[in-house]
Structure 1
Amino acid sequence: MGCQTFHINPNSFYKRIYAPNTTRFSPQPNFKLLKTTSLTSNRLNEPASTAIINQTQNPTPNVNFKTLGACKLGISRYPDFDYNAAGGAGSGTATKLSNGQVSVEFDVKKLYIPPLSTATTTFLGFPLPPLLKIDILPLAFRGEINLESGKVDLKFIAQFCFSVGSLYKARSLLVETVLTSDESKGKMREGRGERMDEDGRCRLVGVATVEPINDLFMDTFLSLPTECLADLNAVISFSTTQ
């Protein structure tokens, strides 16, 4: 899938991301709406989304993240797992930078990504065996988003914990990558994402190197060290709180 660049109309972005309950939105910024919600900007030509982040009452901008279905995860030379990540969610704070850039940091204590299990994952068309489970424990999730171009770059660090019921639990695999809406390419694996559209939908991909974990079975089974690929279908949205 080719990389797509979305030119986001600021007013449309405001409607979709910052004011989801607004049913109509005029082509020009609605300053009456801004007044009723205590949002002010001294620069009449400033986009509505920028005015929200720059309002004089100094609110805390929030960012929300949701994972959807139609995702993929791959490791080593094995075929990709088809992964339904619907239900994953997290939130964090955003800081406006310049030129449409926003720095975001998610609270990993509240970030949930569904495990790979028989309920969420298939391999070669078959569900994973009932006892097999891979939990994903985020350690860091932060980076930058460009509200004008839709480009997303988020550093993601997580532990992948492989277990077979109570019979076997391997040492965790440490995965560190940048989930990007553009292209991520390693020596073995590669993926191409999709930039964020006006509804906040995007596809994020990231290639990471996985080092050996001194577990004979896992090191041999996965041919560690090797590469893994994460391909996540997601929605990113913004809001503000006083």
Structure 2
Amino acid sequence: MGCPTFHLNPQSLHKRISAPNTTRFSLQPNLKLLKTTSFSSNHLNQPASTSTINQTPNVNFKTLGACKLGISRYPDFSYNAAGGAGSGTATKLPDGQVSVEFDVEKLYIPPLSTATTTFLGLPLPPFLKIDVLPRVFRGEINQESGKVDLKFIAEFCFSVGSVYKARPLLVETVLTSDESKGKTREGRGERMDEDGKCRLVGVATVDPINDLFMDTFLSLPTECLADLNAVISFSTTQ
């Protein structure tokens, strides 16, 4: 009895050997597609360029010379407020205006002193000083029309050397680029120009402070007028 004879077909053998390889390589395009899709998805979910995020609008405020302050029945003080400065944040509102709030801890307004203030053409006596301590400074600005309305609350602290220091006078008003009018005092401002320059005015009522000298000297309660030349500018920082 002879051994069985097997006939191997070379073409069939080639197909059997090549089949696994054909299957392996046929998956490569799909894997490549998955990788491409994954990359594209991640790319779409990536945040915008750092040049367009983390930007905070800032507002800057500077006081200039040729300002005035008036209180009670007395003539106005001529006041050089150059050197005052502050900054804050700005938020654009839907109506096109900008809401601003200044950091009062860093807002500096020069004191009324012999170096900055004259009364009836004469400088204040060297020992007399009035410090201005801001407590609130915020409001709205229309960059198109130049109109400015800023709520201003501050303490005015009178002192005469080391001999006398009065209780603070609390002043609360709206500094406006338009008109501010009280019963006995009034002022008219000027809207911001293209350089940010403006004149802000505000009339406020000053209540008694339970200090016999100051209440009598200033005839409290009374009105006061603030008239400030200023520059307001905006910037964007990251």
When normalised by structure 2's length, the TM-score is: 0.78
The equivalent residue for 2:63 is 67
User: How large is the RMSD of aligned CA atoms in angstroms?
Assistant: 1.0
Q: CA deviation at 1:59?
A: 1.1
User: What SS does the corresponding residue of 1:77 show, helix, strand or coil?
Assistant: coil
- 1:193 and 2:183 are equivalent in the alignment: no
String of CA shifts for 1:67-89, please: whole Å, max 9, x gaps.
00000000001100000000000
1:100 and 1:128 mapped to 2: Cα distance? 44
For structure 1, the residue ranges without an aligned partner over 5 or more in a row are 1-36, 39-55
Specify which of 156, 161, 165 is matched with residue 157 of structure 2. Answer: 161
String of CA shifts for 1:44-92, please: whole Å, max 9, x gaps.
xxxxxxxxxxxx4251100000000000000001100000000000000
Equivalent residue runs for 1:135-214 within 5 Å? 135-214=131-210
**Identity across the alignment (%):** 90
Specify which of 87, 101, 104 is matched with residue 105 of structure 1. Answer: 101
Report how many aligned residue pairs link the two structures: 189
Task: Please tell me the residue identity of whatever aligns with 2:109.
Answer: I
User: Whose RCO is larger (CA < 8 A, sep 6+)?
Assistant: 1
When normalised by structure 1's length, the TM-score is: 0.77
User: What SS does the corresponding residue of 1:219 show, helix, strand or coil?
Assistant: helix
Task: Please tell me the residue identity of whatever aligns with 1:200.
Answer: G
1:202 and 1:100 mapped to 2: Cα distance? 19
2:69 and 2:183 mapped to 1: Cα distance? 16
- 1:83 and 2:66 are equivalent in the alignment: no
Q: CA deviation at 1:100?
A: 2.6
User: What SS does the corresponding residue of 2:216 show, helix, strand or coil?
Assistant: helix
Specify which of 90, 93, 104 is matched with residue 94 of structure 1. Answer: 90
For the pair shown, the structure with the greater C-alpha radius of gyration is 2
Runs of 4+ in 1 over 3 A off after TM superposition: none
- 1:115 and 2:114 are equivalent in the alignment: no
Task: Please tell me the residue identity of whatever aligns with 2:220.
Answer: L
1:57 and 1:120 mapped to 2: Cα distance? 43
1:233 and 1:58 mapped to 2: Cα distance? 33
1:124 and 1:100 mapped to 2: Cα distance? 43
2:53 and 2:88 mapped to 1: Cα distance? 20
Name the one with the larger helix percent: 2
The equivalent residue for 1:132 is 128
User: What SS does the corresponding residue of 1:223 show, helix, strand or coil?
Assistant: coil
1:152 and 1:146 mapped to 2: Cα distance? 7
